[in-house]
Structure 1
Amino acid sequence: MNSPDLAAPDLASSVTRLIELLDIEELDTDLYRGATRDEGWKRVYGGQVVAQALVAASRTVPAERLCHSLHAYFIRAGDPAHPIVYKVERDRDGGSFTTRRVVALQQGKPIFNMAASFQTEEAGLSHASSMPAAPAPETLLNEAELTLRHAEQTPEPYRSMWLARERPIEFKPAVVFDVFNPIAAPPFSQNWCRLAAPLADIDPALARALFAYASDMTMLDICLQPHAVAWTNPRLQAASLDHAIWFYATPNMNDWLLFDGDSPVAGGGRGLNRALVYGADGTLVAAVQQEGLIRYRPKA
């Protein structure tokens, strides 16, 4: 099999399409509709739903109040053949905090819900963990480059899907794992990410939505690493169950962000994953936590 000879992707256009995906349509007061995108999978990517729900909630909040935390549950798999409707509930508008709830629906059924809190930015007591040592992103290959390098060893249909996959977010893993033939490894992970092409004038609310979109891409992998189970194994049922983000600064999506992650526990068919996220200057900008379903069925 010859190595694939693909035209260079139009990264700027892929970023533009992501922005369009997050620019949800207002149907009525506190009611929005988001488009979906069929990328060959049977479900909608969870980060898209989190990001669109955050955009919906943000549009009901004054611009000077930014999301400082969100907590979400994935209820049903989203169908990429149908748009998603987001219904926002205005729970409270306080002196400095605003709270919102969002339910995402497809064909009349809830597939996702989220609670989000917004705060007027203010000064206060401050401390943060130091950024850990990590390989410089300039020394690493990104996911697209790794896909091309390992294309001949990638079975179909994943090979064609991955080669054709649009990547508006550039990811660079510090350690590369063989996802089809995994070897048991400690539950630690480091990934650099940024927009695949720079975007001018990103307002803080959009930056946080873009971060939310990216934040679901690598989390679930961490809790599988100690068990050497390929996510393509038919005995494994894996999916995100919930997702939480705490923002401590607006992420600069045009520059590298380091997701420094671990999985402290797994049990009961579930695995906990968490990451501290640092800007290129070492600032701790966010914390992400996710529990995933990792149900491993016995042999028939």
Structure 2
Amino acid sequence: MTTVEDLLKLLVLEKVNDYVFNGISKTIGSPIVFGGQVLAQAINAATRTVSSQRVLHSMHAYFLEAGNLEHPITYNVTVVRDGGSFSVRRVTAHQNENTIFILSASFHIQEDGYSHQIDMKPGLKQPEELLSWTDILHQYGEVLPKGLKAFFEVKRPIEFKPTKIVNPLDKKDVPPYSDVWFKIKGDANNLDLATKQQILTYISDYNILVSALNPHASKAHWGNTQTASLDHSIWYFRDFDLNDWMLFSVESPSSSGARGFARGNIYTRNGELIASVAQEGLMRPIEKK
């Protein structure tokens, strides 16, 4: 996948009936299905059972088993409630006989009300001043750890630019924060809000656990730590333009018991808060044999 058009071919599911949908998978460099893909595909299924007058405002999900890249995923949608202002859907994802994922999503009619937000961090470098993952691969590919180099080599429909590049060879603990600019590749004009929310959901599973691993970077890295998304929540606040760079600003308040917790905010370039994300992930040290 290299453009938003390729990504939408992945996220827009095949309809079996009004409440059952099938999806395929594409790797992002991992041997298992990317969590962001399952999140976004489940939102695609849920959205297609709700009136277009109702807008997704929150979702909460649990990853139960790792998905197999070779097998299709079936999404079953249950109507939990259609009230005067809110609709709630439950989605379960299956591969063969196994339930691998469950999600609840709530949709709300558009209403006027009070509005406020917290500000974006001041003083962050702009995307034009930063190296992208592609730039890092081209400039430092020969010295990158083998696994990290292979991850960067995967073609993606999104470009990422971290505001700070942590040298994996330094083996120094760093603060539990990360700020990453991202931008979709290709033409994102004429996309409705529901489609943009599905794309944002897909992107939200990138980069979030980095902040939880940072304070342990002197001894922990992706090669000696088993990581996986355990649960994931998103609250969607406002419409947005996907054609410009956006910022995912993440912090990790805590890690313990082989789990790391991270939460973050997604902003437009001009500082408008679009969504908030929270995730707990597995961070299990791999014991040497």
Asked if 2 retains the 8 angstrom alpha-carbon contact of 1:169 and 1:193, the reply is yes
| Deviation for aligned residue 1:220 | 1.0
Secondary structure of the equivalent of 1:118?
A: strand
Note if 1:232 corresponds to 2:211: no
Give unpaired runs (5+ residues) of structure 1: 1-9
Q: Of the candidates 120, 123, 136, which is equivalent to residue 126 of structure 2?
A: 136
Q: Which residue of 2 aligns with 1:149?
A: 139
Q: Which residue of 2 aligns with 1:46?
A: 35
Secondary structure of the equivalent of 2:128?
A: helix
Secondary structure of the equivalent of 1:149?
A: helix
CA distance in structure 2 between the partners assigned to 1:38 and 1:297 by the alignment: 23
- Counterpart residue type for residue 49 of structure 2: T
Asked if 2 retains the 8 angstrom alpha-carbon contact of 1:57 and 1:100, the reply is yes
State the Cα RMSD in Å: 1.6
- Counterpart residue type for residue 232 of structure 1: G
Asked if 2 retains the 8 angstrom alpha-carbon contact of 1:181 and 1:230, the reply is no
Q: Which residue of 1 aligns with 2:72?
A: 83
Number of residue pairs the alignment of both structures matches: 286
Asked if 2 retains the 8 angstrom alpha-carbon contact of 1:67 and 1:116, the reply is yes
Deviations 1:217-244 (A, max 9, x none): 00011100000111111xx221110000
| Deviation for aligned residue 1:68 | 0.2
Secondary structure of the equivalent of 1:153?
A: coil
Note if 1:273 corresponds to 2:262: yes
Q: Which residue of 2 aligns with 1:159?
A: 149
**4+ runs of 1 displaced by more than 6 Å?**
none
Note if 1:257 corresponds to 2:246: yes
CA distance in structure 2 between the partners assigned to 1:289 and 1:46 by the alignment: 14
| Deviation for aligned residue 1:52 | 0.3
Q: Of the candidates 278, 285, 296, which is equivalent to residue 274 of structure 2?
A: 285
| Deviation for aligned residue 1:82 | 0.8
CA distance in structure 2 between the partners assigned to 1:178 and 1:113 by the alignment: 36
| Deviation for aligned residue 1:39 | 4.6
Q: Of the candidates 197, 200, 207, which is equivalent to residue 186 of structure 2?
A: 197
Note if 1:23 corresponds to 2:12: yes
CA distance in structure 2 between the partners assigned to 1:54 and 1:121 by the alignment: 18
| Deviation for aligned residue 1:299 | 5.2
- Counterpart residue type for residue 130 of structure 2: L
Q: Map of 1:82-231 to 2, 5 A cutoff?
A: 82-133=71-122, 134-156=124-146, 158-160=148-150, 162-163=152-153, 165-179=154-168, 182-228=171-217, 229-231=220-222
- Counterpart residue type for residue 140 of structure 2: H
Asked if 1 retains the 8 angstrom alpha-carbon contact of 2:28 and 2:34, the reply is no
Deviations 1:94-138 (A, max 9, x none): 111000000011112111110000011111111111121211111
Deviations 1:241-265 (A, max 9, x none): 0000001112322111111110011
TM (norm. structure 2) is 0.94
**Matched residues, percent identical?**
40
TM (norm. structure 1) is 0.91
Asked if 2 retains the 8 angstrom alpha-carbon contact of 1:180 and 1:230, the reply is no
- Counterpart residue type for residue 276 of structure 1: N
CA distance in structure 1 between the partners assigned to 2:149 and 2:121 by the alignment: 34
Asked if 2 retains the 8 angstrom alpha-carbon contact of 1:244 and 1:289, the reply is yes
Secondary structure of the equivalent of 1:92?
A: strand
Give unpaired runs (5+ residues) of structure 2: none
Asked if 2 retains the 8 angstrom alpha-carbon contact of 1:38 and 1:81, the reply is no
- Counterpart residue type for residue 249 of structure 1: R
CA distance in structure 1 between the partners assigned to 2:36 and 2:259 by the alignment: 19
Distance 1:242 1:160, change over 3 A: closer
Q: Which residue of 1 aligns with 2:63?
A: 74
- Counterpart residue type for residue 223 of structure 2: T
Q: Which residue of 2 aligns with 1:7?
A: none
- Counterpart residue type for residue 136 of structure 1: Q
| Deviation for aligned residue 1:298 | 5.1
Asked if 1 retains the 8 angstrom alpha-carbon contact of 2:178 and 2:250, the reply is yes
| Deviation for aligned residue 1:281 | 1.9
Asked if 1 retains the 8 angstrom alpha-carbon contact of 2:28 and 2:156, the reply is no
